[in-house]
Amino acid sequence: MGSVTNYNPRCVILLLFTVLAATATKHRNNFLPRPRLGYYGSSCWNVESIVRSVVQSNYFANPANAPGVLRMHFHDCFVQGCDASILLAGPNSERTAIPNLSLRGFNVIEEAKTQLEIACPRTVSCADILSLAARDFVVLAGGPWWPVPLGRLDGKVSLASNVNLPGPTDSVALQRQMFSAKNLNTQDLVVLVAGHTIGTAGCGVFRNRFFNYKNTGSPDPTISPSFVPQIQSQCPLNGDPATRVVLDTGSGDQFDTSYLNNLRNGRGVLESDQVLWTDPQTRPIVEQLLGLRFPFLWFGQEFGRSMTKMSQIEIKTGLDGEIRRVCSAVNS
């Protein structure tokens, strides 16, 4: 008969502990709390009404706050996740990166935070306020309402060097790559970029496309010939590069499907927008959005769904996050 192998019980326990620890580490993300509806409950039952009231007063004071806060939410989520790090101030914070210099609406989030700190001290994160405010501004601009899961924490780090956002001349291939890295698919890409139905861009961002596209001496051939002189008159070669032009010509303040129609008609202002129509990977999605009997209702539903997905990118939990007292607290 074979002999029985001797073993040390302490070694077995240590081995078991090591295996369990490794398994827990591997799967810990499956057990971390995720944003959910009704998160604050009685701890801050009126969080949504407080944010909505602040948003309404700021929208009626300046409707440009709507695309400003929507864009801010996008820029926040695409850099280190939806953690309100875009709000942190400081000499090298995300706010100082070139793509973020034209952001507006910081005061809106801070105003809502101030009121919530009175009603529910150290309870509601700036990241949740930004998610709610983006939704409420879209609604006021004529867009859809969608339920916003809450329970994010605020990030502790904000660095300009981390800012890497989709750009105004990006191809569909590059945009798809950047969206895929955030677990967003091609439909999410088209639907979220269509948020450009409200908002503006500075002439310096796209002017060459209407005068000297890729050093050809001519405008981008995908632009409708009737649209070229319209933009050239708004953005002359020697004009102020900071002059703002609406991204959805004819409907720049209204959240609707006019933006998609403009793409179909070669009237997209940004190259990264117009390629959504010319690229075979995205054109069928635009066509589908426009081809339904009630395109706005379908677009609105899909926009809310994609915004919900985006708002849960790389959220902070546990020791990775905090609840700030002041949203723009100086970045340490």
Token readout for 205 is 């961002």
Q: Is 45 helix (H, G, I), strand (E, B) or coil?
A: coil
What parts of the chain have a pLDDT lower than 50? 1-7, 9, 11-32
pLDDT of residue 39: 85
Is 110 assigned a ligand-binding role in the annotation?
no
Residue from 52, 71, 73, 75 carrying the catalytic annotation: 75
Question: Using DSSP, how many helices (H) and how many strands (E) does the chain show?
Answer: 13, 4
pTM given for the model: 0.87
How far from each other are the two terminal CA atoms of the chain, in whole angstroms?
Answer: 69
CA distance 155 to 319: 10
Is 94 assigned a ligand-binding role in the annotation?
yes
Which tens digit of pLDDT belongs to each residue from 237-264? 999 999 999 999 999 899 999 999 999 9
pLDDT of residue 36: 79
Q: Is 122 helix (H, G, I), strand (E, B) or coil?
A: coil
pLDDT of residue 37: 82
CA distance 168 to 187: 19
The type of residue at 278 is: T
Other Cβ atoms closer than 10 A to 332: 8
The type of residue at 204 is: G
CATH of domain 172-310: 1.10.420.10
Q: Where are the alpha helices (DSSP H) in 31-170?
A: 47-61, 65-77, 106-119, 126-140
What are the φ/ψ torsions at residue 4 (nearest 5 degrees)? -80, 130
Q: Is 7 helix (H, G, I), strand (E, B) or coil?
A: coil
The type of residue at 253 is: D
Is 79 assigned a ligand-binding role in the annotation?
yes
Which of 219, 200, 221, 217 has its CA nearest to residue 209?
219
Which tens digit of pLDDT belongs to each residue from 161-192? 999 999 999 999 999 999 999 999 999 999 99
Is 27 in the active site? no
Ranges for all domains in the chain classified under CATH 1.10.520.10: 46-162
Which of 186, 192, 209 has its CA nearest to residue 268?
209
Token readout for 168 is 């105004």
Is 170 assigned a ligand-binding role in the annotation?
no
Token readout for 78 is 């695409």
What is the DSSP-derived secondary structure letter of residue 153?
Answer: B
Ranges for all domains in the chain classified under CATH 1.10.420.10: 172-310
pLDDT of residue 18: 44
CA distance 187 to 176: 10
The type of residue at 197 is: T
Q: How far is CA 5 from CA 8, 19, 159, in A?
A: 10, 22, 57
CATH of domain 46-162: 1.10.520.10
Is 256 assigned a ligand-binding role in the annotation?
yes
CA distance 39 to 43: 9
What is the DSSP-derived secondary structure letter of residue 276?
Answer: H
pLDDT of residue 297: 86
CA distance 99 to 163: 8
